[in-house]
Amino acid sequence: MIKQIQLIGLLILLSSSLLIAQQEVPYSSISKKTMEGFMDKRFGMFIHWGPVTLRGTEIGWSRNHGVSQSDYDNLYKKFDPVSFDADAWVKTARDAGMKYLTITAKHHDGFCLWPTAYSDYNIMNTPFKKDVVGALAKACKKYKIKFCIYYTVLDWYDRRYPLHNDGNTVPDPKADMQQFVQYMKNQLTELVTNYHPYMLWFDGNWEAPWTAAHGRDIYDFLRKLDPEVIINNRLGKGTHEVMSAATTGDYATPEQKVGGINMTDPWESCITLCTQWAWKPGDAMKSLQQCIRTLASTAGGNGNLLLNIGPMPDGRIEERQAARLREMGSWLKKYGASVYSTKGGPFLPDSVLAATRKGNKIYIHLFQKPAGPLKLPAVPGLRVKKAYFLQGDKVPFRLEQEQLILSLPQQLPDENDAVLVLEMDKNAESVPLIRK
């Protein structure tokens, strides 16, 4: 009897430890230090590019939606971006104040921008015949911009992948996921060993053939290739927006929106400068104000911004897009201290302001001038020593009933984002979030 009870006890113990062994946190083994280095960068360039720019429609998605499959799949034969200049692209990123760059090595359409040995559908079989990924990796090294690679999981072109079209849900019986995953591993080995990316940006993980187990297998495979390469959270299943137990990857990737404030999990919002990811002639472009406020709000939520541009089929970045990025760069030259290497908060971001902090300084990114003085809740345990506009005048302030009251001038010094500095008597980086 006692033996039986002991046995049952042992079984319970075993099963509960098995439960504990099940994944309760994201599947990620990156070092905290590497992620801190990534999050300090705050601003990167996303580039969506490929033969589809010859049609000016959306990359991947317009295949069989507006552009026929046979037309789409033959565009590469005419892709000859003679004006492509990797140095020019990277300098555009650098001059915008961006610290990293991510290129679509392969999007959902399956076309490869590097000379892969594992598919003929690649840049060497276009009239251009030059390694775009390699040229960018080299230029990034030259200009000290971290080089990153976008590589999507799903591939509507490759016959080994079971679905051949967006919206298609009936798997091709002739497809073979095992072979397809091997193809992915071969290509990822090429990309990691030849170009040494700082980060890998996966996508296209939502279709049924891709499983959580596939994601973990690729994650482990990559970790063996490079223990330090950062991997976004689109290898597993579940939402991209936040980290969860279903996540495989190192950071969350809200898309086309600023992510919610999060002081523990790293995240990066990817947002397009125009409306399309790939170049579209005459596409509507965001104003400088929208761009600056998007960056400030992202930093205010403790996240990074990966701002996307789509270069033209001839290889140039549209002058108006380059000009907008230069304007961002000028703004960051002046106000960069309130963005790079900061933490978000302690005040929660909203449409009026976003807050960032570093050491003893709290930066208030003011988007709107309140009717009267600016009123903020006092920061518990910390005292304001000085208040002034970054690169500007002093701001008179007083404390009244647990409220900090700042007297603003008639006109804010920057109409897009007036950055106020509150110099505190102590380090403000670990102050808990404050609701206004």
Q: Which residues bind ligand H79 (CB under 6 A)?
A: 48, 58, 60-61, 203, 255, 270, 277
- Answer whether 390's CB lies under 8 Å from 419's CB: yes
Tell me how far apart the alpha carbons of residues 436 and 377 are, in angstroms, rounded to a whole number.
6
* Closest distance to ligand H79 from the beta carbon of 48 (Å): 6
* Closest distance to ligand H79 from the beta carbon of 276 (Å): 8
Closer CB to ligand H79, residue 58 or residue 250?
58
What's the 3-state SS for 312-332? CCCCCCCHHHHHHHHHHHHHH
* Closest distance to ligand H79 from the beta carbon of 217 (Å): 22
Closer CB to ligand H79, residue 61 or residue 121?
61
* Closest distance to ligand H79 from the beta carbon of 252 (Å): 13
229: tokens are: 């390469």
Tell me how far apart the alpha carbons of residues 33 and 142 are, in angstroms, rounded to a whole number.
24
Q: With CA atoms as reference, report the closest residue to 299 among 329, 326, 336.
A: 336
* Closest distance to ligand H79 from the beta carbon of 335 (Å): 27
* Closest distance to ligand H79 from the beta carbon of 204 (Å): 6
Closer CB to ligand H79, residue 210 or residue 331?
210
* Closest distance to ligand H79 from the beta carbon of 422 (Å): 36
Closer CB to ligand H79, residue 92 or residue 232?
232
Q: With CA atoms as reference, report the closest residue to 259 among 142, 337, 370, 344.
A: 344
* Closest distance to ligand H79 from the beta carbon of 156 (Å): 12
Closer CB to ligand H79, residue 100 or residue 331?
100
Closer CB to ligand H79, residue 107 or residue 146?
107
* Closest distance to ligand H79 from the beta carbon of 2 (Å): 60
DSSP 3-state of 393:
coil
Pairing mode, strands 199-203 and 230-231: parallel
Closer CB to ligand H79, residue 60 or residue 313?
60
Helix axes 177-195, 132-142, angle to 10 degrees: 40
* Residues whose CB falls within 8 Å of the CB of residue 14, separated by 6 or more in sequence, listed in order: none
Question: Which own/partner contact pairs does 388-392 have at CB distance under 8 Å and 24+ positions apart?
Answer: 388/420, 388/421, 388/423, 389/413, 389/418, 389/419, 389/420, 389/421, 390/334, 390/335, 390/337, 390/338, 390/363, 390/419, 390/420, 390/421, 391/334, 391/335, 391/419
Closer CB to ligand H79, residue 270 or residue 339?
270
* Alpha-carbon separation of residue 75 from 45, 53, 78, 320, 410 (angstroms): 25, 9, 6, 26, 56
Closer CB to ligand H79, residue 97 or residue 204?
204
Tell me how far apart the alpha carbons of residues 2 and 8 are, in angstroms, rounded to a whole number.
10
Closer CB to ligand H79, residue 158 or residue 268?
268
CB count within 10 Å of CB 62 equals 20
CB count within 10 Å of CB 159 equals 14
* Closest distance to ligand H79 from the beta carbon of 277 (Å): 5
Residue nearest to ligand H79 (CB): 61
Closer CB to ligand H79, residue 30 or residue 271?
271
* Residues whose CB falls within 8 Å of the CB of residue 6, separated by 6 or more in sequence, listed in order: none
- Answer whether 420's CB lies under 8 Å from 405's CB: no
* Closest distance to ligand H79 from the beta carbon of 274 (Å): 12
264: tokens are: 């523990």
Q: With CA atoms as reference, report the closest residue to 296 among 363, 371, 387.
A: 363
